[in-house]
Amino acid sequence: MIQPHAIFNINGMITSEDIGISVLDRGYLYGDSLYEVVRSYRGVFVHLEEHLDRLENSARLCSMKLGQSRAVYREQILRTFEAFQKQPDMSRTDVYCRIIVTRGVGRIGFAHSKIQTPSQFTLILMPIEEPSPDQWKQGLHLWIADRLRNDSRALDPAMKSGNYLNSVLAYLETVETQRSLPVDDAVLCNSEGHVTEGTTFNIFYVRRGIVCTPPLEIGILDGITRREVIELARNEKMEVREVRFPRERLLEADEVFVTSSIKEVMAVTRINGIDLKSRQEGPVTRALRLLYRDSVDQRVAKLETGL
Ligand code: PDD
């Protein structure tokens, strides 16, 4: 069996002696890989099974045969996490865990017959960088990119592939362009001018108490946080609509927020240099952020007691 490599800390503390990844790996050659990012809370991965489900779904969407079983992925993630936590001062640290699977290593060329190994599997674990209380309050400053989201008939955004060049370019072209006010990240529209999602997060807006977000059919990632936030909002009797909308809707909204496993529920307070109505985290965003945190706490407690 192929042993996964574990890089415990991106700042140089590589615990695996030889991390050698072949230059003939399809991930390196063609971006022919998948990935997931899952985070831990107080020693527990709360959404690990959902991320493994999505990894399997992504593999189906790109006809990739996963070389290891789900049980092996789960076991290796937990084993590596345990080793990570044994490092000095890391026992209670919340981690960012990236699971990368590539189609394998072989000869140059696209055919499956060129591949000489099962899919390859790497884990990167590092401490989560939490936003400061001020950053939570201030929220994100986004820019709507000129670059379009990939069409689902091209590189389907529903598949969490390792080929993030679409997001990388949107980010570089917005965040790294000289502007009078700094920008944190980019949002992408599709060719019809509808808002889709951010580079690594889903997006929502609130107008007159109604929570709106683009539907999955538009060509976005089925975010695990998005799914949970929609459910939590509906449980609280909030109206949630999954609808297509143009970029103007974000600028006119009462509140805008984003969701991801890393950002959780985070307010957006400025878009394209324009201050939104709520210049700080708004009441609906705050309510959903706290509900999400509560739900995470409940899951942690459940997993800790093994119930
Ligand atoms: N990004 N949309 C895109 C394009 C994403 O890459 C992600 C996740 C999400 C949110 O999905 P989830 O709620 O399941 O994390 C939406 C991760 C965090 C990343 O690539 O780092």
Residue nearest to atom 6 of ligand 1 (CA): 200
Residue nearest to atom 9 of ligand 1 (CA): 201
Query: For all residues of the chain together, what is the average pLDDT?
Result: 92
pLDDT digits (tens, 9 = 90+) for 262-293: 999 999 999 999 999 888 999 999 999 999 99
- Which amino acid is residue 236, in one-letter code? E
Q: Which ligand 1 atom lies nearest to the CA of residue 47?
A: 14
The rounded Å distance from CA 199 to ligand 1 centre is 8
Contact 170, 178 (CB under 8 A): no
Which band of pLDDT confidence, cut at 50, 70 and 90, is reported for residue 7?
Answer: low
Of 26 and 4, the structure prediction assigns the larger pLDDT to 26
Question: pTM score, two decimals?
Answer: 0.94
Contact residues of ligand 1, CB 6 A cut-off = 37, 197, 200-202, 221, 223-226, 259-262
Between 4-13, 72-81, 227-236, 249-258, the lowest mean confidence (pLDDT) is in 4-13
The rounded Å distance from CA 218 to ligand 1 centre is 16
Q: Which ligand 1 atom lies nearest to the CA of residue 167?
A: 4
pLDDT at 9: 42
pLDDT digits (tens, 9 = 90+) for 113-172: 999 999 998 888 889 988 888 888 889 999 999 999 999 999 999 999 999 999 999 999
Pocket test of ligand 1: the residue of 202, 220, 296 to mutate, having most ligand atoms within 8 Å of its CB, is: 202
